[in-house]
Amino acid sequence: MNEEYEYLYDEDYVNFTEFPLAVTLMCLGKKLVALNRDPKTPEKIEFVFEKNEAVKNFVTRYWNGELLVEPKQFWNISRELKSRIRLMK
């Protein structure tokens, strides 16, 4: 494993590659623990969150189309997260 990258593949964390899901979770107050970039496929980013019942519930509700977030907050967090991803290069 490349020492520049810290991977959190543990039962305490859940990893997603879906950008809008990560932004939605952040809008709902969930803390992004880490960003992982696979050195073999650098365009693929993994968003790491703590695994708990609230996150599992939000993910299920996200995929069922049952969540609403404030649009300006979603946009601002999206821009911030994209900036963080660009800094990883």
Q: How many domains does the chain have?
A: 1
Would 78 be classed as within a structural domain? yes
Would 61 be classed as within a structural domain? yes
Check residue 40 and give its pLDDT.
Answer: 84
Would 7 be classed as within a structural domain? no
pLDDT tens track for 32-74: 999 998 778 888 899 999 999 999 999 999 999 999 999 999 9
Residue of 51, 46, 52 lying closest to 14 (CA atoms): 51
Q: Is 2 a residue whose pLDDT tops 50?
A: no
Would 36 be classed as within a structural domain? yes
Would 70 be classed as within a structural domain? yes
Domain that holds residue 57: 13-87
pLDDT tens track for 80-89: 999 999 888 6
Check residue 63 and give its pLDDT.
Answer: 96
Tell me the C-alpha distance between 60 and 57, whole Å: 5
Check residue 37 and give its pLDDT.
Answer: 86
The count of residues in the chain is 89
Cβ–Cβ contacts within 10 Å for residue 49, how many?
23
Tell me the C-alpha distance between 43 and 71, whole Å: 26
Would 1 be classed as within a structural domain? no
Would 2 be classed as within a structural domain? no
Would 27 be classed as within a structural domain? yes
